[in-house]
Structure 1
Amino acid sequence: MQVKDKIASCKERLIAVRRELHGIPELGFREAKTSAYVADYLEREGLAVVTGVARTGVVGLLDTGRPGPTLLVRADMDALPITEETGLPFASRHPGVMHACGHDGHTAMALVTATVMNALKDRINGAIKFVFQPAEEGPGGAKPMIEAGVMDHPQVDYALGCHIWPTIPEGTIGIRAGVLMAAMFRFDITITGKGGHGAMPHLCVDALETGCQVVGALQRIVSRRMDPLSPSVITVGKFEAGTAFNVIPETAALCGTARTFDKTTWERWPEIIEMVVKGVCNSMGAGYEMSYEQGYPPTVNDPDMADRMKRIAGQVVGDERVVVPEKTLGGEDMAFFLERVPGCFFCLGAGNDAYAGIHNPRFGFNEDILLTGVETYCRAAVDLLGKPSTAAS
């Protein structure tokens, strides 16, 4: 009850923090105001704070001074290039940018977890490292933070993260052992042909037509090259070609993404896609240039940690409200932390017909769910880091 009572006493603060962050959304690696807010909050709590990690990342260390493991709690800070349409009194004050994926809630939960665990640090050994990461929505802040040494000094033993999840009911917690989210890959293709008059196609190499054939051929990779029992998807989301109705375009530009749960397939995407693009372009007499970003690997929860978190989540919401969420072909760079140490990325149920889903200009959630997230983090910290011995006390 000590944990629950302390969290309940922080409810107004938790909601206020979320709303303050919601009003100042910033895009990836531009989170200057958000980072300053986070750093100031942690410093006022008395944590050791490091700023400027991977440009705009912040790390706060709660060290008990007693030997023990280190738990990493990760929150993402960035927002999306969306114009908010919620009409909320605390809506975005930054035109064209919005917290439409719950990252303001994620950051608020981690900050208030730091407050609660700082007050209850006599109940744990070791340390908690609160990692506030930039650019989850792209191009990715987790990997550069790891490269900057965030997993060291002290060395991290466990990692936890949380995502507000509108696809499971409000009041539930979703935990899936193994693969939860897909590996992602981005490709950009420029096709070069020979432009000319629309009435004389025989004198041209039509980059637009070549591009159309590339799009079709890419779709057939999934239906004819991939194991149908292992879901994958390729989407061309951008196609630009042409300037006039009677001109055969000389260039076409395509941009898209590929997703899979299989890491081996993810690693082979560049080879597979380029082979298809090269074949189509050669058959049409066109040239091409292709670039790609490998993106994020699959998000994989350690089975033992997932089982442990299911038990902890049951203490928070009741065993009957701990659910197994469906896997999603969305990507998450929490994956990089989970590749390094045993960990769990859990889902905080937010399903409510009164709100739109993520990446929507009318996205929202019942702020009471944030208390559930904080309590889950705090109970996990007590469980994973244990209690100090009488001698240490």
Structure 2
Amino acid sequence: MKDYTLSDKLKYLEDFSKQVRHHLHTIPEASGVEYKTSEYCKKMMQSFGYKIVEYPGYTGFHADLDIDPQMKRIAFRADMDGLEMPDMTDTDYKSVHDNMAHNCGHDSHMTVALTAARFLAEHPEELRFNVRFIFQMAEEDMRVPGAETMVAGGCVNGVDEIYALHNDASLEVGSINVNDNIMSSWGAAWTLDVNGVSAHGSTPQKGRDAIREVVRIIDDLDYIVAKKTNPFSPAVFGCGMIHGGTVPNAIPDYVQARGTIRSMDEETDTILKNSLTSIMAESALRGFKTNMVCTGYPAVINHKYAYQRIVDSASGVLTRINKTCKPMTGSEDFSYMINAVPEKKGALFFLASGCAEKGINNYLHSNPYYLDDDCLLIGAQIFVNLATHA
């Protein structure tokens, strides 16, 4: 039994929403090169009557529907990029791009936006705001600026409040998670390059072992989390990739490692990043040449007014609204957009996209990644309610 209620006027878009998501699911693209995806969304928004604003040299764009110059403007963000991993789902709409998959569900985010955009364009008399939909490139890869670039290009200029959602297939369809504070972590991706001196494996004293130095640095970073940060403020250090060496009987002169750091307050974020500098300095004293590049996002912090607007807009749709959810330890560059609007009046919520009955109960970035299409109209309804109620 469904424990959510959709407007009868929106239900006619159910087949449309499924067709759109299934098509988008077939064409996932990496951060910053979402050419097919962007063109598909752009043409559809144009067909609805929206004015398209492009960002020369980038795939991101925004689309405006202006009703009355006296009205305020509300904006909705939809991220477009996929993940560089194979699509292991067993569906007839699998990815046709090698080693690319929508395993974070951004296909659903775009679909919710496109569905809501179509409805609002077909019912302009119901709008209480001028509307902007922001189709953002490059949310996944912290090394490729996405939201930050679009903010610099003017995507939130003239915007009074802004909203976004993120699907969560570990939650049962018919619910949302939201709070009036921190929704995602301060996070950064780091890339470490270590240059040593190569040597034969039988004469290690003649070289400087880049592998050993990378291991030392990783151990030191673990130590920083364990002993230098407040135990009551969560912090996470992770190394997900190490590349180095070509043969088993030689000490490599170069190794690269990549990973992430996460924290739940700005002070801890600063401690972690400052620690990287001191650890690199020690490597120099040991005779290694190192380079650490660290790029990341500030935390998403929901504005209390915008949070309440989400709760009010969802209350007529859902019977299950978790208003005090814990923040995710993952990071979201939507924070740049919230921070750029007046009074930081914006908010993010998690839209449940799982279904135990259908065997859908997976976490973001898992493989295979499934989500329940029933979430699409729910998300669209919440966006519609936000735009049609001041």
State the Cα distance separating 1:175 from its structure 2 match: 0.8
Give the Cα–Cα distance (whole angstroms) in 2 for the partners of residues 239 and 350 of structure 1.
34
Residue 360 (structure 1) aligns with: 366
Report the secondary structure of 1:289's partner residue: strand
Residue 317 (structure 1) aligns with: 318
**Any idea what the Cα deviations from partners look like across 1:237-290, whole Å, max 9, x if unmatched?**
2223333333223233222211112224334543211202322552xx222322
CA contact (8 A) 1:299 1:334 kept: yes
Answering whether residue 77 of structure 2 is matched by residue 74 of structure 1, we say: yes
CA contact (8 A) 1:299 1:332 kept: yes
Residue 291 (structure 1) aligns with: 292
- Alpha-carbon RMSD across the aligned residues, in angstroms, is 2.0
Give the Cα–Cα distance (whole angstroms) in 2 for the partners of residues 3 and 373 of structure 1.
10
Answering whether residue 269 of structure 2 is matched by residue 266 of structure 1, we say: yes
Answering whether residue 152 of structure 2 is matched by residue 147 of structure 1, we say: yes
Cα–Cα, structure 1 residues 53 and 324, in superposed 2: closer, same or farther, change >3 Å?
Answer: farther
CA contact (8 A) 2:151 2:340 kept: no
Structure 2 length-normalised TM: 0.91
CA contact (8 A) 1:314 1:322 kept: no
The partner residue of 2:109 within 106, 110, 121 is 106
The residue type paired with residue 184 of structure 2 is M
The partner residue of 1:244 within 244, 247, 261 is 247
Question: Which is further off, 135-144 or 48-57?
Answer: 48-57
Report the secondary structure of 1:34's partner residue: helix
Answering whether residue 83 of structure 2 is matched by residue 83 of structure 1, we say: no
**Mapping for residues 179-328 of structure 1, pairs under 5 Å:** 179-282=182-285, 285-318=286-319, 320-328=320-328
Give the Cα–Cα distance (whole angstroms) in 2 for the partners of residues 108 and 126 of structure 1.
21
Cα–Cα, structure 1 residues 66 and 202, in superposed 2: closer, same or farther, change >3 Å?
Answer: closer
Residue 122 (structure 1) aligns with: 125
State the Cα distance separating 1:15 from its structure 2 match: 1.0
- Structure 1 runs (4+) deviating above 6 angstroms are none
State the Cα distance separating 1:81 from its structure 2 match: 1.2
The residue type paired with residue 334 of structure 1 is F
State the Cα distance separating 1:67 from its structure 2 match: 0.8
Report the secondary structure of 2:243's partner residue: strand
CA contact (8 A) 2:72 2:160 kept: yes
**Mapping for residues 132-143 of structure 1, pairs under 5 Å:** 132-138=135-141, 139-143=144-148
**Mapping for residues 160-175 of structure 1, pairs under 5 Å:** 160-175=163-178
CA contact (8 A) 2:353 2:373 kept: no
CA contact (8 A) 1:172 1:322 kept: yes
- How many percent of aligned residue pairs carry the same amino acid? 26
Ranges in structure 2 where 5+ consecutive residues have no aligned partner: none
Question: Which is further off, 268-277 or 135-144?
Answer: 268-277
CA contact (8 A) 1:54 1:141 kept: no
Give the Cα–Cα distance (whole angstroms) in 1 for the partners of residues 129 and 328 of structure 2.
34
**Any idea what the Cα deviations from partners look like across 1:87-136, whole Å, max 9, x if unmatched?**
21111122221111111111011011111112222223441111101111
Question: Which is further off, 189-198 or 291-300?
Answer: 189-198
Give the Cα–Cα distance (whole angstroms) in 2 for the partners of residues 375 and 238 of structure 1.
40
Cα–Cα, structure 1 residues 254 and 322, in superposed 2: closer, same or farther, change >3 Å?
Answer: closer
The partner residue of 1:176 within 171, 175, 179 is 179
Residue 339 (structure 2) aligns with: 339
Number of residue pairs matched by the alignment: 378
State the Cα distance separating 1:19 from its structure 2 match: 1.1
Give the Cα–Cα distance (whole angstroms) in 2 for the partners of residues 54 and 300 of structure 1.
30
Give the Cα–Cα distance (whole angstroms) in 2 for the partners of residues 43 and 378 of structure 1.
19
State the Cα distance separating 1:3 from its structure 2 match: 7.8
Give the Cα–Cα distance (whole angstroms) in 2 for the partners of residues 60 and 173 of structure 1.
26
Structure 1 length-normalised TM: 0.91
Report the secondary structure of 1:78's partner residue: coil
CA contact (8 A) 1:184 1:295 kept: yes
CA contact (8 A) 1:190 1:251 kept: yes
Cα–Cα, structure 1 residues 92 and 244, in superposed 2: closer, same or farther, change >3 Å?
Answer: closer
CA contact (8 A) 1:112 1:374 kept: yes
Answering whether residue 25 of structure 2 is matched by residue 22 of structure 1, we say: yes
Report the secondary structure of 1:6's partner residue: coil
Give the Cα–Cα distance (whole angstroms) in 2 for the partners of residues 31 and 194 of structure 1.
40
CA contact (8 A) 2:7 2:381 kept: yes
**Any idea what the Cα deviations from partners look like across 1:135-173, whole Å, max 9, x if unmatched?**
111223111111111112xx0000000111123222101
Report the secondary structure of 1:227's partner residue: coil
Report the secondary structure of 2:317's partner residue: helix
CA contact (8 A) 1:310 1:322 kept: no
Report the secondary structure of 1:129's partner residue: strand
